[in-house]
Amino acid sequence: MNAAVPGWAGVLASVSLVALTVVVAWRRRLRLGREITFAAVRAGLQLAAVGAILLVVFKHTGLVGAFGWLAAMTLIAGQVAGRRARGLPGATVTATTAVAVGTAATLGVLLVLEVIEARPRVVIPAGGMVVSGAMQFTAVVLIRLRDEARTARLQVEARLALGLSAADAFAPHLRSALRTALIPVIDSTKTVGLISLPGAMTGLILAGVDPFTAIRYQIVVMYMLLAASALAVLTAARLTERVLFDEAHRLRPLPDQSPI
């Protein structure tokens, strides 16, 4: 057994950290004890189920199963990101398409250039990181676009009245939403290794891989996440811009309140 990987006894011991979190929440009267416990139990069960499924995928299904797994993750990610932007027309379809474009383009380039191996054991973890990053930033840009369409309606309609096209009238708000969505991933790329050691690099080092080998892999991962997030955000913004306006270049009405 690899000494760097905790055994099941270590996993059980780590439950004490969850208990500590519950005690802190209880002492501060946050009323979050039940939610923390549920989240911890759910995470453990989900990961155990995923581990069992991955064993089957790795041994019996090959790349077909790997890409099927990524397709399922993309659909789930689209649902999650779409729910965050509730009230925006076609939010779920837009989010799913954006995540799919970012994931397919990024992984496709890495596989074609043979930067990563075309094996399920490589494709699934790498694809999972891409889908997760694309989902997060797609949700951010969709929320921002929805809010901009609500709060800046008068400015947009004034530009439309002056004869500007829908794209030109909404352009300043589109750029603002894109900047808001992309700045976090740009900042995390700039500070990688200075503030924290990212997950992929940490996992490889814990597994006994040479640090310079782990660094090479982490560089690829960071560039992969940066590209996937940018492509997903740009795709989501483009599709949202189309559904916000009708054929006559009029801004569609949106609900005043949309729960997140």
Q: What are 125-130's contacts with CB under 8 Å, separation 24+?
A: 126/221, 126/224, 127/66, 127/69, 127/70, 127/73, 127/103, 128/70, 128/73, 129/200, 129/221, 129/224, 129/225, 130/102, 130/103, 130/106, 130/224, 130/225, 130/228
CB 246 within 8 A of CB 252: yes
pLDDT tens for the chain, 260 residues long, are 455 678 888 989 999 999 999 999 999 989 999 999 999 999 999 999 989 988 998 888 889 999 999 999 999 999 999 999 988 989 999 999 999 999 999 999 999 999 999 999 899 999 999 999 999 999 999 999 999 999 888 999 999 999 898 889 999 999 999 999 999 989 888 888 777 667 778 777 877 888 888 888 889 989 999 999 999 999 999 999 989 998 888 888 887 654 44
The residue ranges of every structural domain in the chain are 62-244
pTM over 0.85: no
Helical pair 211-244 and 199-206, crossing angle rounded to 10 deg: 150
Burial class (CB in 10 A: 0-12, 13-18, 19+), 54: middle
* Cβ-based neighbour number of residue 180 at 10 Å: 18
What is the pLDDT, as a whole number, of residue 252?
85
The predicted pLDDT at position 259 comes to 46
What CATH architecture is 62-244? Answer: Up-down Bundle (1.20)
Q: What is the pLDDT at residue 170?
A: 92
Q: What is the pLDDT of residue 258?
A: 46
Q: What is the 3-state secondary structure (H, E, C) of 126-192?
A: HHHHHHHHHHHHHHHHHHHHHHHHHHCHHHHHHHHHCCCCHHHHHHHHHHHHHHHHHHHHHHHHHCC
Q: What is the CA radius of gyration of the chain?
A: 22
Q: Is 245 helix (H, G, I), strand (E, B) or coil?
A: strand
Q: Can you give the pLDDT at residue 2? A: 55
Phi, psi at residue 245, to the nearest 5°? -120, 145
Residue type, 195: I
pLDDT at position 76 is 95
